[in-house]
Amino acid sequence: MRCIVTGGAGFIGSNLVDKLVSDGHEVIIFDNYSTGKKENVNPKAKFFLVDISHELSFKSKIMKDIMTGVDVVFHLAAMTSVEESIHTPEEYHKINVFGTLNMLKACVDYEVQRFIFSSSSAVYGEPSEFPTKEDSKLNPMSPYAMNKLMGEQYCKCFQIYMV
């Protein structure tokens, strides 16, 4: 498989990249190093310094070459601090919501069939039952949680285009 991992220089993303590489997949990483680290990047993966919140990043000939033939996008790129999201909600929205929307649009434009979105339990707020079930009541209590819920909803909207 040909895979893209957004946020592939972060802790979780880099571990996913390592597993995909060890399983013999071609892996492409999009990261802007806002929270990821160069030392986390698997040398067998192709790395591209991409800020997914900038829509124009996806309109170039280079991006067409990168994304053509991709089978799946694992979308892990996000700003993740609940507390920080309260102080800078616009920045969180730009990265987490516009970044997700830009990736979904790019998947449609370049005919990527599978998009795997990494959400958060924060969309449930303070759950009344443990473990929390996916059909539990949603109650986002921070801009970060709302961003993740919006990402889930955008994924639902775009699923008709990725069949």
Which sequence positions are flagged as catalytic?
A: 144
Q: Are the C-beta atoms of 8 and 17 separated by less than 8 Å?
A: yes
Task: Determine the Cα–Cα distance for residues 161 and 104; give it in Å rounded to an integer.
Answer: 10
Neighbour order of strands in the sheet with 46-49: 46-49, 26-31, 2-6, 72-75, 114-117
What residue has token string 């969309």? 123
* DSSP 8-state symbol, 97: I
Residue 136: count other Cβ atoms within 10 Å of its Cβ: 15
Helices (H), the chain: 11-22, 61-67, 82-87, 89-92, 99-109, 143-158
Which tokens hold the place of 26?
A: 């071609």
